[in-house]
Amino acid sequence: MKDLGERIQKARKNKGYSQETLANLFGISRQAIQKWEKGENEPSIDSVKRLAQLLDVDFTYLLTGEINVSKSVSAIDNEKEIIKEKKQEEKNVGKLIVLSITLFVSIVVLMSLVIFSFFNKQNINGTLTSLWWYIPFVFGGTNAWFIFLFLISIAGIVLSIIFLVRRRKKWEKWKVLFY
């Protein structure tokens, strides 16, 4: 009976619970927990099952002291899977951030080019016209940088939107970033 009490005490301390905390969770007095741990009193089988759940230990371990290896291995596998999923989530959030920044920068560049073209009139064939309307017809000379930036910004917007739409199932990740 003392061994059971020692295992209860060890599991309680590993969980980080005081006797008072465990008693409150269990719905009994602290003195009852104390008597179990000292071996002065023995909990019922149902109480041991409930203790095992509260303390996250195997029921068999509390009763006999035997460790169920298959459960331990599966617990380790579960932890590895959880760590793997968290790493994948971090990668996904990083990708979403990069895509969002790319989309934002592309839109800013495109808007800057549009504003520049409206306020920078060009004399084409004797007529003052906006550079914006002249872009599709000029692919060289001094306007090459303008066309390059325009095409890159359009490509950035289109690709960002395509990748974001493909990831629409993971919109819950956005809540972490913005809420």
Q: Hey, where are the domains in the chain?
A: 2-67, 75-178
Q: Tokens in use for 73?
A: 């291995």
pLDDT for 179 = 46
pLDDT value for 59: 80
Q: How many CB atoms lie within 10 A of CB 106?
A: 20
The owner of tokens 């090459």 is 144
| CA 18/CA 1 separation, integer angstroms | 21
How distant, in Å, are the alpha carbons of 81, 92, 94, 129 from that of 87? 10, 9, 11, 54
Please state, as a whole number, how many other Cβ atoms lie within 10 Å of the Cβ of residue 42. 13
| pLDDT score at 5 | 87
The class that CATH gives domain 2-67 is: mainly alpha
What local confidence, expressed as pLDDT, does residue 174 receive? 52
pLDDT at 165: 76
pLDDT at 31: 92
Spell out the per-residue pLDDT of the chain, length 179, in tens.
Answer: 458 888 889 888 988 889 999 899 888 999 999 998 898 888 888 888 888 888 888 888 888 877 765 555 666 777 788 888 888 878 877 887 888 888 888 888 888 877 776 666 665 555 555 555 455 444 445 566 667 777 888 888 888 888 777 776 555 555 555 54
pLDDT of residue 67: 72
Alpha helices for the chain (secondary structure H): 2-15, 19-26, 30-38, 45-55, 59-64, 69-119, 131-134, 144-166, 172-178
Residue 53 confidence (pLDDT): 86
Return the pLDDT at 60. 82
Please tell me the pTM assigned to this model: 0.42
